[in-house]
Homo-oligomer: A and B are copies of this chain.
Amino acid sequence: MMIIKKMRLALLALLVSVPAAAEPLSIESQGSFFIGGHDIKSDTLSTLPAYAPSGTITVGQMYVHYQIPVAAKHLPVTFIHGCCLTGKTWETTPDGRMGWDEYFVRQGFPTYVIDQVSRGRSAVDPAPLNAAKLGKTPADQIPAVFSAGHEAAWAIFRFGPEYPKVFPGMQFPLEAQDEFWKQMVADWAGGLPVPNPTVPALSELAIKLKGTVLISHSQSGFYPFQTAALNTQDIAGIVSIEPGACPLATGDLVPYLKMPILVLFGDYVDLSPRWAPRLKQCREFADAVKKAGGKTELVLLPDLGIKGNSHMLMQDKNSLEIAAWLVAWLNKNVP
């Protein structure tokens, strides 16, 4: 029964056309702005003579870039990238194909792409680095800033069981991996408050937009759930792609009964010691929400007959097929 329902949705997705890239894109409006942020004062903003060490800077804000198509047909979608990445995740794929950011605009969705707080175009605070450099604080108090190496990321992104082995049928464009590695940036999330300041910023964004579907990935997979726990207002739906965690099945599920939720996984999950337990935990969550009367679906792409997808499925060779399926899901589940 479930299988038939899923197959029907997959067929529906085929009806959502993959647009020819040659067709011009018609934009009603576009631009960028920040959400959140607060001022801090510091005496270690700089160690260079040309810039004063003392002063006020603004940190904690979230960069948002948007495009609104002519004759928008849907509620806005908000794309939230994962660990060690930026909003670039959703733009042109490493092998040069259209990103989900443009695809969703072409399908009539006002589309918002963020850089998480302290990542990309969202500022970090350099004061603790300079305090340590100047000997004012012990070096071990430098915030946790890390980059994922290619070798470790290989298995995390499920390109294969371990670097440089490749899972058979892999859809990620590994021939363009050099361009992909360039997307990766240092990640300051480990030194940020919990929940990540991106979470309240997402709530503020949802309210500003008077409704949006939060589409998150990996590290940020949990953020829309945390946002809903904070305030469900104007969260029209949640799409959590391969989240690092789902809410506990035994926890307070009330916020998750108020909106349609999709948890989406790619292929090879059972072959990954990192991802298999996460899938299991998300399944428990989805089952618990369903039992409580909520509209939560957990979907594995292979169950739809869509195979070979890595953790970076929005960049895989069949990324627009998956996007088309997701548009069909949104059309069906988010009025």
Contacts and interface: CB of A to CB of B under 8 A. Distances in A.
B98 A31 contact: yes
A92 interface: yes
Contacts of A52: 148-149, 151-152
Contacts of A65: 91
Interface stretch (A11-19, A119-127, A301-309): A119-127
A25 B115 CA distance: 24
Interface string A188-217: 001000000000000000000000000000
Interface residues of A, number: 75
Interface stretch (A174-182, A233-241, A251-259): A174-182
Interface string A61-73: 1010100001000
A179 B33 contact: yes
Contact of A92 (B33, B87, B91): B33
Q: Quick one: copies of this chain in the complex? A: 2
Contacts of A123: 147, 182, 184-186
A178 B98 CA distance: 34
A333 interface: no
A99 interface: yes
A322 B92 CA distance: 32
A142 B134 CA distance: 9
A56 to B, nearest CB: 5
Interface string A49-61: 0011011111001
Interface stretch (A40-48, A224-232, A265-273): A40-48
Interface of A: 21, 24-34, 37, 39, 42, 45-48, 51-52, 54-58, 61, 63, 65, 70, 86-88, 91-92, 96, 98-99, 102, 115, 120-127, 129-130, 132-135, 139-140, 142, 144-152, 178-179, 181-186, 190
